[in-house]
Amino acid sequence: MPDDLPAAATAAQLAAIEAELKRSGGATGSGLKLVRNGPELARLSRDCFDYSPVLQPLLSGRLAQLVVRASRLEEVQAVAAACSRQGVSLTLRGSGTGNYGQCVPLAGGVVLDLSGLNRMRQLEASSGIVTVEAGCLLADLDRQLSVSGRSLRLAPSTWRSATVAGFIAGGSGGIGSLRWGFLRDPGNLIGLEVVTLEAEPRVLQLDAKASRPINHAYGTNGIITAVRLPTAAAVNWQQLVVEFSHWDSALEAARMLPGTALMLHTLCLLEEAVARQMPAIGGQGAGGCPVARGHRLLLLAAPDTLEILLHLMADLGGTLIWQAPEQGQRGLPLRELCWNHTTLHARAHDPAWTYLQMLLPQPEAPFLSALKQRWGEDLLWHLEGVRQQGCQRLAAIPLVRWRGAESLAELIAEVNQSGGLLFNPHAFNVEDGGLGVIDADQVSAKRAYDPAGLLNPGKLRGWSEQKP
Ligand SMILES: Cc1cc2nc3c(=O)[nH]c(=O)nc-3n(C[C@H](O)[C@H](O)[C@H](O)COP(=O)(O)OP(=O)(O)OC[C@H]3O[C@@H](n4cnc5c(N)ncnc54)[C@H](O)[C@@H]3O)c2cc1C
């Protein structure tokens, strides 16, 4: 744990915060809800960090002392003002689906749940730019956009459960990254409305450049209350499952397809031993996808791609196993077998699985087979097609059998030595879960918007290290 964590709040500080919120509630007609103890407090203090056996012992049992649920901008300002005046730490929460303990309060204090702040404010007809409040669920936003023929460009596979601000502050990419790259790529975030953590909190309207340091900063340097995003024309994506008996052909298909003119929204490749652990897309029985008998390519493809795509796959020895439009489909959607949902389903099968995340070196095949040879059935390949700095690349989120911290560190070292670019999912601060380097702009934004360092303490290493 970082050694500069603030002390937990005293009973007097918490009572003063509650009294302030009550007073401000009279003025603003506040509907703030408070949770002081019990299972609800424990639930709202955690996220999905248990996918990491490294994070589990570090983060289990770290609880908020008070959870406040806000549904209006003025309420967020009231909470920020009260925490600032009392010098109590404040950790922000959307839906709590993060995997690295991003919204776990390391030092107690207050957790602010923003899931009630969830209105779509505006969809600009001429540009398709949407302004939406922080706590709106991504799937709800997509539903509202579809009325105007628009859709989100990027979404995590937790699209049904995650909030828009949680995705910006805690996520990186996912469904759509094949076409649109990652959230931090210029063009994927147009602006933010941010509340500062000060005695008199300011409400700032930040443009794309000013928003950049708050993008993927785990809520350490500003409270996002609204987000401006570009949207894309809505497509009725076709869900396709193509099976291959040979890994090399499946890998070739995954490398080749993103380089064609076919419009694809997601491309996920599972080696057979992973595919066999997945539940049936579309549900069990009639209409659902049959059990895997080979390596599987999962695709979301535009309807006009099908004729050509299926010929290309057949040329490589791929067989179409299952197909259904995404719209109106019942049961498990294909997108919930991709990205970290693959790990979720594998862990439901066997909780000894954990995972890594990396960008693969090119060519990919020698890297994949060298690691496979060395680690055998303890390392199972799950690849995702992505666009990285304008180039089509393959990322991997392999399943890794947990054999202890030493063995994991050995595997990580090997990935690094062999040219993989690792994003360690077993670290809880912004920098160590990314490229390991401090982003000075993120630290400057914290100085400007959270001068006392009260937001999500312990999660921005650059802040801890710059303090005297
Ligand atoms: C099965 C599974 C699959 C996943 N797949 C993906 C994927 O494909 N891509 C991906 O990027 N991630 C993925 N994730 C991680 C996570 O689901 C996403 O990043 C998601 O977008 C987080 O949204 P949330 O609302 O749950 O945020 P939370 O977990 O509540 O918060 C995430 C971070 O954002 C901060 N935050 C929340 N709200 C605000 C706010 N209003 N202002 C400032 N900071 C705020 C929190 O403090 C925290 O640091 C996956 C997780 C699971 C469990």
For residue 3, the model assigns a pLDDT of 84
Mean pLDDT across the chain, nearest whole number?
96
Mean pLDDT of 100-109: 98
Instruction: Strands of 108-208 (E only): list them.
Output: 110-113, 120-123, 130-133, 150-152, 191-195, 203-206
pLDDT > 80? residue 26: no
Distance 82 CA to ligand 1 centre (A): 25
* Residue 377 CB contacts under 8 Å (≥ 6 apart), including other chains: 273, 401
pLDDT > 60? residue 64: yes
Going along the chain from its start, the domains and CATH numbers come out as 11-113 (3.30.43.10), 120-233 (3.30.465.10), 238-422 (3.40.462.40)
Tens-digit pLDDT profile for residues 353-371: 999 999 999 999 999 999 9
Mean pLDDT of 219-233: 98
Q: And the tokens for 114?
A: 């923003």
Ligand 1 in contact with 167 (CB < 6 A)?
yes
How far is CA 456 from its chain centroid?
A: 17
* Strand bridging mode 264-270 / 382-388: antiparallel
> Please, what is the angle between helix 405-417 and helix 364-375, to 10°?
150
Tens-digit pLDDT profile for residues 401-441: 999 999 999 999 999 999 999 999 999 999 999 989 999 99
pLDDT > 70? residue 73: yes
d(CA 331, CA 288): 8
d(CA 274, CA 271): 5
Q: Which residue has the tokens 């490749």?
A: 269
CB contact burial 131-152 (16+ within 10 A = b; e otherwise): bbbbbbbbebbbeebeeeebbb
Distance 385 CA to ligand 1 centre (A): 21
Q: What is the DSSP letter of 175?
A: B
Mean pLDDT of 177-204: 98
Give the residue, out of 83, 167, 344, 455, with the most ligand 1 atoms within 8 A of its beta carbon, to mutate for a pocket test. Answer: 167
pLDDT > 80? residue 22: yes
Ligand 1 in contact with 92 (CB < 6 A)?
yes
In 3-state terms, the chain is what percent helix, strand and coil (to 5)? 35, 20, 45
In which order are the strands placed within the sheet that holds 379-380?
A: 353-355, 399-401, 379-380
Give the residue, out of 92, 218, 430, with the most ligand 1 atoms within 8 A of its beta carbon, to mutate for a pocket test. Answer: 92
Torsion 93-96-102-104 (CA) sign: positive
Among left, alpha and beta (phi > 0; psi -120 to 50; other), residue 359 is beta
Residue 329's pLDDT band, with cuts at 50, 70 and 90, is: confident
pLDDT > 90? residue 24: no
Name 299's bridge partners. 240, 267
Give percent above pLDDT 70 in the chain: 99
* Nearest atom (ligand 1) to Cα of 138: 21
- Cα→Cα distances 104→205, 284, 341, 460, Å: 27, 36, 21, 13
* Residue 69 CB contacts under 8 Å (≥ 6 apart), including other chains: 32, 33, 34, 35, 112, 113, 115, 116
* Residue 384 CB contacts under 8 Å (≥ 6 apart), including other chains: 177, 178, 266, 267, 268, 269, 338, 339, 394, 395, 396, 397
pLDDT > 90? residue 351: yes
**How many Cα atoms sit within 13 Å of 154 on the Cβ side?**
24
Contact 70, 113 (CB under 8 A): yes
pLDDT > 80? residue 29: no
Q: Which residue has the tokens 């699209």?
A: 159
pLDDT > 90? residue 295: yes
Give the residue, out of 158, 194, 220, 334, with the most ligand 1 atoms within 8 A of its beta carbon, to mutate for a pocket test. Answer: 158
pLDDT > 60? residue 283: yes
For residue 25, the model assigns a pLDDT of 79
**How many Cα atoms sit within 13 Å of 366 on the Cβ side?**
5
For residue 439, the model assigns a pLDDT of 97
d(CA 279, CA 250): 21
Ligand 1 in contact with 266 (CB < 6 A)?
no
Mean pLDDT of 46-61: 98
d(CA 345, CA 292): 14
How many residues appear in the chain? 468
pTM of the entire structure? 0.97
pLDDT > 80? residue 30: no
Residue 330's pLDDT band, with cuts at 50, 70 and 90, is: confident
Ligand 1 in contact with 344 (CB < 6 A)?
yes
pLDDT > 80? residue 31: no
Helix then strand count (H, E) for the chain reads: 16, 22
Q: And the tokens for 60?
A: 């289990």
* Nearest atom (ligand 1) to Cα of 167: 21
For residue 190, the model assigns a pLDDT of 98
* Nearest atom (ligand 1) to Cα of 339: 8
For residue 373, the model assigns a pLDDT of 97
Distance 101 CA to ligand 1 centre (A): 10
More confident position, 124 or 466:
124
Tens-digit pLDDT profile for residues 251-273: 999 999 999 999 999 999 999 99
Residue 205's pLDDT band, with cuts at 50, 70 and 90, is: very high
pLDDT > 60? residue 468: no
Helices (H), 235-383: 247-256, 272-275, 306-315, 340-349, 364-375
Ligand 1 in contact with 197 (CB < 6 A)?
no
Backbone φ and ψ for 176, nearest 5 degrees, come out as 100, -15
* Residue 406 CB contacts under 8 Å (≥ 6 apart), including other chains: none
Distance 225 CA to ligand 1 centre (A): 15
Burial class (CB in 10 A: 0-12, 13-18, 19+), 378: middle
pLDDT > 90? residue 323: yes
Q: And the tokens for 283?
A: 């549900």
Tens-digit pLDDT profile for residues 390-409: 999 999 999 999 999 999 99
Q: Which residue has the tokens 């666009």?
A: 387
